Amino acid sequence: MKTISTTRLAVLCAVIAVALLTFGSRASALTVGDSHELGFLSLSMLLGNQDRAAYVNHFVGMALGSSDIANGQKYVRSHNAFTPMPNAVAALSGTGSKINLGGGSTYAYLFASYNGYGSEVWFVGNMSGIITIPKLTNGHALTQWTLFGPGVPGVPDGGTTAMLLGAALSALGVARRFLLS
């Protein structure tokens, strides 16, 4: 049985620590009017996730900085440009101000409703980890939020899992070779 030198073990531990920090989750906060805002829906009548998805998809088709009345709602689109902007499919709903987006690319939009005020919609497709949204906006309390994923639910992830598995197996092979030589 071969022994591992302390230098090689220290280098391996450092590489693993850097990899974990690189892929760790990032926490951030969203605010009304920030660079992630997609738009504002005034006094939205929220009937269900399908209605919210239709509202978000209407924002996706709007010109930057424009306003519109459709689906019985008044839309105000922000000046922020995002790419890509896939159609929204409802994925997850909740009521707290802290939301876990996971590792990233799982969700594209966040729709937050405020009692008696309206709804804020943010683009979160480039975010990951735990985010915080305002509990109050202009004195109106957060009532509910819905995260929307891109595309059609149940569609495979496009190879991300296979890439991660391949990277893990490659790292194990390199570690084995590094430790046993």
In this prediction, residue 151 carries a pLDDT of 61
| SS3 of residue 133 by DSSP | coil
pLDDT one-digit tens code per residue, 40-91: 998 756 668 888 899 999 999 999 999 999 888 899 999 999 988 999 987 7
State both tokens at 88: 């929204």
Whole-number pLDDT of residue 157: 47
Question: How far from 91 is each of 13, 55, 110, 155, CA to CA, in Å?
Answer: 38, 15, 10, 13
Q: Is pLDDT above 80 for 4? A: no
Contact 72, 100 (CB under 8 A): no
User: 């994923």: which residue's tokens?
Assistant: 149
pTM: 0.68
Dihedral sign for Cα 80, 39, 53, 147, please. Answer: positive
Secondary element (H or E) of residue 80: none
- At 124-169, the pLDDT tens digits run 998 989 999 999 988 899 999 999 998 644 444 455 666 676 777 7
Query: Is residue 118's pLDDT more than 50?
Result: yes
Structure tokens at 61: 């088709």
